[in-house]
Amino acid sequence: MKITIVGAGYVGLVSGACFADFGHDVTCVDKDDAKISALSDGIMPIYEPGLDALVAKNAGADRLNFSTDLVTAVAAADVVFIAVGTPSRRGDGHADLSYVYAASSEIADALTGFTVMATKSTVPVGTGDEIERIIKERNPKADCVVASNPEFLREGAAIEDFKHPDRIVVGIEDERARGPMTELYRPIYLNQGPLVFTSRRTAELIKYASNSFLAMKITFINEMADLSEAIGANVQDVARVIGLDKRIGSKFLNSGPGFGGSCFPKDAVALVKTANDYDRPLKLVETTIAVNERRKRNMASKIIDAMGGEVRGKRIGLLGLTFKPNTDDMRDAPSIAIAQTLNGEGAQISAFDPEGMAQAELELPFLNYCNSAYSAAQDADALVIVTEWDQFRALDFTRLKTLMKTPLLIDLRNIYRRSEIEPFGFKYRCVGRPGEEIA
């Protein structure tokens, strides 16, 4: 099948590369000349493990192409995907759909022959209806059906998620979309990937409901961590045991400094805004948002408390800045609030992240960026694990002790145990495991 993806960002690029790897003929279109030029030269605009090799493989086989020519790409396509950004709108928190609607107008003008237009961008309920209206207004003769096909890709594991999904959701209002969308995903479906067809509005809601539920799950275990610290329990044992219950499951039950990233924060806010528009407030989601924002600031307070209540003039090393490992994404990362708070209290901050420092510098220009975890630890009064990159899981504590002014490790991701670092003379603070801490 011939596929055109409008928007060569994270979702569009990963989806395009994976569709091409299944044998489809894919063109990724973007207005950014520099991005398209770079992609044509094999230079990725984002960090995602394995993506550069997958793009190179399929571009070399001429199954994946990059272009700024939307008209030609759309005219030749069987299915056109909209994969442009939908950031939170300034002022009110609603999803900004200006890019989606602009793309829809341009696509409508270029349509020829029967085409399925599907949204991969995360969009509020009813967006598909508006896209349909735009098409009819711009090109009344267009033979086009509009579908919703939300993505469920985890940054850092996006290729695996695309090729081996838990579910594939397709929302349609016109049965003519069923055949092309089934054929599009046939390589996955034959491997037992569950292809679920729903109404278009249902599909749009599923995406927001999924992300908001996972955000609530993370926030729940973070509150259990706070309670565990107060009563002397171990939150990791709590999480492990409740996760054994198949009704609950073990994923997203790791306590830490709060959730961030490109999806959970903005999608939870957008869902709340949609619910309020229909006079059906979502109090659980509203509380989740508030608790998560407060938690990020509280993590800075936890660091300050571990350092005796005063950090002015002290040096702190931060390990990990991105919101999660295996990505360079800094959007709503807990490290931002943590670093800003510590900086405001007068701390001197050194930091290292394996992939995210270029993006971090845009948000946190006041940090001293280092080329390794050990450089960040030089002369530090405390070392803080903020993001659980694999290379932080086997630190050389003998070396660290010789570098640091004070051997204090504050582990906001609980990747170590007291017994592992106590022999090296380190003081240790963690999250939700008071029995593990060396005060």
Q: In the numeric block, which tokens belong to residue 252?
A: 């997203």
370 tagged catalytic: no
Distance CA 203, CA 219 (A): 25
The residue type found at 423 is P
E-strand ranges in 35-134 read 64-67, 79-82, 115-119
Closest CA to 159 of 329, 22, 265: 22
Q: How far apart are the first and last CA of the chain?
A: 62
Helix ranges restricted to H, 96-148: 98-110, 127-138
Active-site annotation holder among 18, 263, 370, 430 = 263
**Taking a C-beta distance cutoff of 8 angstroms, is the pair 120, 83 a contact?**
yes
Contacts of 427 (CB under 8 A, 6+ apart): 406, 407, 408, 409, 438, 439
Contacts of 222 (CB under 8 A, 6+ apart): 255, 256, 258, 291, 292, 295
Distance CA 422, CA 420 (A): 6
Helix (H, G, I), strand (E, B) or coil at 201: helix
Instruction: Give the sheet arrangement for strand 2-6, strand by strand.
Output: 64-67, 25-29, 2-6, 79-82, 115-119, 144-148, 168-171, 195-198
Residue positions annotated with a catalytic role:
263
